[in-house]
Structure 1
Amino acid sequence: MTSVASLAKDARTLTVRVPFTLRKRGGRKLVVAPEGATWGAPHPRVDSTMIKAIARGFRWRKLLETGVYGTIDEIAKAEKINPSYVSRVLRLTLLAPAIVESILDGRQPAEMTLAALMEPFPVGWREQLDAGFRQI
């Protein structure tokens, strides 16, 4: 479907219909243009939930590397959270620097959410970009 504009019979009212999709992102609604539509320069979409998770992952990795905690279970017990969650968040430290920078700058693709990042992804940076993060 494409945009349609029509002028009312009184020639004073212009109606413009533009197909779009609403998506929720970080508690906010985001307007997504249809595929192939021209769109102005995107405004940064800083996702504080994603940034917080990445920061936690790097903090926990540092605590493991410095010996403050010896295992993921120790971190989970200290933070009073599930060890599985700690493992998934720690994996975010394996993201390619370009991906992390785009998230920090709010330039990540609309479909890149924390839930999507918590799913398994390739460890290699090139493979990550080839697996769908190419839009960055």
Structure 2
Amino acid sequence: MNAEFESFVPLTFARRGVQRLATTSAVAHDTTFLVGLSRAFYWKSLLDSNVMKSGSEIAKHEGLHHSVVNELMRLTLLAPDIIAQLMSGTQPRRLTLMWFQRNRLPVDWQAQRAIINGFK
């Protein structure tokens, strides 16, 4: 016997300035950030599997400037708990994709956590 299962996640979409947010009753997911994060990990997988040889090659293939690819690829260096916080929508409000693109984070995860905790 096959049973179908459904999941319902109550989301509403709202704008915060030029950003689009998916909100539940408790959290706000920055969809722009989530798209950037997913692209970064996808591109990393292309490099890891030797499908693409460099960020510049990815940029050319995607029709983007190489700096965009390189800025987003830095997101793959984030500590797993910071990524989980961003994915769950519980990050500090000012911690946006644009912030990550304009500010370099250290590779050291403890140092990253200290910076993120400074937002609270």
Q: Summarize deviations over 1:32-66 as a string: whole Å, max 9, x none.
A: xxxxxxxxxx8211001001000000000000010
SS at the partner of 1:98?
helix
Q: Which runs of 5+ in 1 are unaligned?
A: 1-22, 29-41
TM-score normalised according to structure 1 size: 0.68
Structure number with higher helix proportion: 2
The structure number with the bigger radius of gyration is 1
Percentage identity across aligned positions?
33
Alignment of 1:41-120 (within 5 A): 43-118=26-101, 119-120=103-104
Asked if 1:24 corresponds to 2:33, the answer is no
* Aligned-residue RMSD, C-alpha: 1.9
Query: CA–CA distance in 2 between the matches of 1:53 and 1:84?
Result: 13
SS at the partner of 1:57?
helix
Q: Which runs of 5+ in 2 are unaligned?
A: 1-15
SS at the partner of 1:46?
strand
Moved over 3 A (4+): none
Asked if 1:129 corresponds to 2:113, the answer is yes
Query: CA–CA distance in 2 between the matches of 1:116 and 1:99?
Result: 14
Count of residues in Structure 1 that have an aligned counterpart in Structure 2: 100
